[in-house]
Amino acid sequence: MTTAPAVIGELARSLDARDVLAPLRERFLLPEGVVYLDGNSLGPLPAAVPPVLTEVVHRQWGTDLIRSWNTHGWWEAPTRIGDAVGRLIGAAPGQTVAGDSTSVQLFTALNAAASLRPGRPLLVTDPGHFPTDRYLADAVARGRGLEVRGVRPAELEAFLAGEGDRVAVVSYSPVDYRTGELYDMESLTRAAHRAGALVLWDLCHAAGAFPLAVDELAVDLAVGCGYKFLSGGPGAPAFLYVARRHHASLETPLTGWTGHADPFGLGAHYTPAEGVARARIGTPPILSLLALEAALTAFDGVDLHRVRAKSLSLTGFLIRCAEELLPLGFEVVTPVEPARRASHVSLRHPHAYGLVRALADQGVVADMRAPDLLRFGVNALYTTHRDVLTAVLRLRDLVSTAAYDPTPHRPGAVT
């Protein structure tokens, strides 16, 4: 079925007019004339961040200097901001710490989980996991004498039925970073626990995008980045969640000085701090941590269930636009069923990279995943249905007029 753009345009206006989250768009400094559908790679700049950074650079660092570790709460920033993230992922205070990169947090979490299940030789991960997750699983397995098994989420229960008593940790993401498919965290966590294994969730594509309940689901450990849906800025610090029941036995592989029970005592031997603070490693990156803290204020007073409802409306509308407005040659690979759909929609096309490059020239910023997926991320805090329609119409025009290079040179840098 083909729908006239005017008809679907009227639907977009109607949906946006009823959007109770529409005022939240003012919390972001979005460039004029740009449709931004890549916030699942790098969130846009929240309006609260520039004044905070100005204050931190000019007064806290520039004037108060080293005294700011105490007078402005720099020392407590990793746990304070960790708790702010914790509120978005369903974690009670005292279980989340922010700082270091996603890779470092994953390395810490995988090692810690394995140490909590000694004698179990298998580390299970998704063979379709983001590369860093797979690379680090291999690295941790090499260092600890474990074996990595690639098991897709849909196959986990069957795998555990045969080898569950040998599995130390299951490491998954609730969202397929390529297709946007949403997996069932609750059932997968329960399956792992029935086998006596721990579960580590990578929440990079989930935190801030929809409600999470890590405490309620009895999640063991979780990590996530600060620069996607949390909009903390390029390279923003990542976070690590460790359920309170594991704190007393938690062993971290990187025993840095800020995770010491008495960091300023300068003792010869490491004694871990109480609670999740022992997962602190090096001196915290204060500028980026405080930028993330300011960015998180974009969620103040926001009901994540409403965020989820609007996100489903946006992705559902995008799928409809793609199916009804785009010419032949495109395939929607994101699940149509709402319960299986996260916060981005992926379309398959053999010229994905060339089309994404051409869309950027037309003021629509999306991204692609090799070899042939165009990926459109939505964020209910600022994306509109009109944004979605504009992106699809410009994509249609590019293909209809062949106004793009189907095989552009691919530089080494990420687009």
- CA–CA separation, 248 and 278 (whole Å): 10
**From CA 404, how far away is CA 208, in angstroms rounded?**
34
- Per the omega criterion (within 30 degrees of 0), is the bond before 371 cis? yes
| Residue 375 annotated in active site | yes
Residues 83, 202, 367, 387: which is the catalytic one? 202
Q: What order do you get walking across the sheet with 239-242 strand by strand?
A: 96-98, 239-242, 221-224, 198-202, 167-172, 122-125, 147-150
Which region holds residue 200: left if phi is over 0, alpha if psi is between -120 and 50, else beta? beta
Give catalytic status of residue 202 as yes or no: yes
DSSP symbol at 240: E
Q: Which of 28, 107, 130, 404 is catalytic?
A: 130
> Which one is catalytic: 27, 228, 280, 320?
228
The answer to whether 303 is a known catalytic residue is no
Whether 110 contacts 140, CB under 8 Å: yes
Of 227, 229, 382, 404, which is the active-site residue? 227
- For the question of residue 172 being annotated catalytic, the response is no
Which pair of tokens denotes residue 200?
């580590």
Q: Report strand pairing: 373-377 vs 344-348.
A: antiparallel
The answer to whether 375 and 366 have CB atoms below 8 angstroms apart is yes
From CA 394, how far away is CA 360, in angstroms rounded?
10
Q: What are 375's strand-pairing partners?
A: 346, 367
- Of 310, 341, 375, 394, which one is the catalytic site residue? 375
- For 246, other C-beta atoms within 10 Å of its C-beta total 16
Sequential DSSP letters for 199-217: EEEE-TTTTTTS---TTTT
| 228 carries an active-site annotation | yes
Instruction: Let me know: does 407 contact 354? Beta carbons within 8 Å.
Output: yes
Which runs of consecutive H residues, i.e. helices, occur in 164-234?
A: 185-194
Q: Hey, which residues are catalytic here?
A: 130, 202, 227-228, 375
